[in-house]
Amino acid sequence: MSGSAPDAVLSGLVSPEAREWVRISETARAGDPSDLGLHLMRRREALRVLDPELTSARRLGPGAAAWGLGVAAGAGLTAGAWSGGAPPVRLGGLVLGVLLAGAAVVLGLRVRAAGRRVVEAFCWWSALPRLVAHAEGRVTDWGESDARAAVEARAWYLHPRRYLAAGLAAAGGLAPLVLLRLTTDPEGRWADAWPADQDAALLVAFVGLAVPSWYAAAALFRSTSRAGSAQAQRDPVTRRLLGRD
């Protein structure tokens, strides 16, 4: 494959090899549909590269950093909302919280944009046989037996990478609820950890943890869901259920 110009969105967040497959899919989507068949021979290699890229450490690391910045921003804002705190501490917390929130948003949006393009490329390469068949007005030929397609479509969900994404999404979704449970349960171990007169600060702390955590969880869930839906298109059971035979 020939090299391509550096992409500011993908640079550093997507491997060079995967970047090339992303670029090819985006160029093909913008081109003539009658030329889609030219890419079929490279489909398996593209998916081999893009599949592990869906949960690459190149984006999980910066994504975790963006989440950490968001949580730190929430902590700063909580200090600013703490009733009875020293004015310099409250002001410093507010300023620091706003600055960290801005950094979290910038980094998080960049990671999300890169991840979205990888997922779109994976979906495009996965569904390429159907796109070619649609453009040429013929029945889709997935190039494999129905039995193999059914097994591989289900085995895709059993890979440890999918459990990693699901675990991180679950942790992100539950973290704010755990915080709320620990600080509000009158009979819990942490019953006295949060003063009863700091309801406003608790609300800020909850929102400060919920926003980055739920945003990250939603991004992970949506990426895995979209990729899985594209992967399942070759599954004969799914095709029959959707009436695509």
**pTM reported for the whole predicted model:** 0.88
Query: Taking Cα atoms as reference points, which of 24, 27, 17, 23 lies closest to residue 51?
Result: 17
Average pLDDT, the chain: 89
What local confidence, expressed as pLDDT, does residue 3 receive? 45
| Tens digits of residue pLDDT in 205-225 | 999 999 999 999 999 999 999
What local confidence, expressed as pLDDT, does residue 6 receive? 54
Give the Cα separation of 144 and 55 in Å (integer): 26
pLDDT of residue 34 exceeding 90: no
3-state class (DSSP) for residue 92: helix
What local confidence, expressed as pLDDT, does residue 180 receive? 86
| Tens digits of residue pLDDT in 60-71 | 999 999 999 999
**Cα atoms found within 13 Å of the Cα of residue 137, Cβ hemisphere only:** 0
The owner of tokens 């949060």 is 194
How many residues are present in the chain? 245
What local confidence, expressed as pLDDT, does residue 189 receive? 65
| Tens digits of residue pLDDT in 196-209 | 788 899 999 999 99
pLDDT band at 20 (very low <50, low <70, confident <90, very high): very high
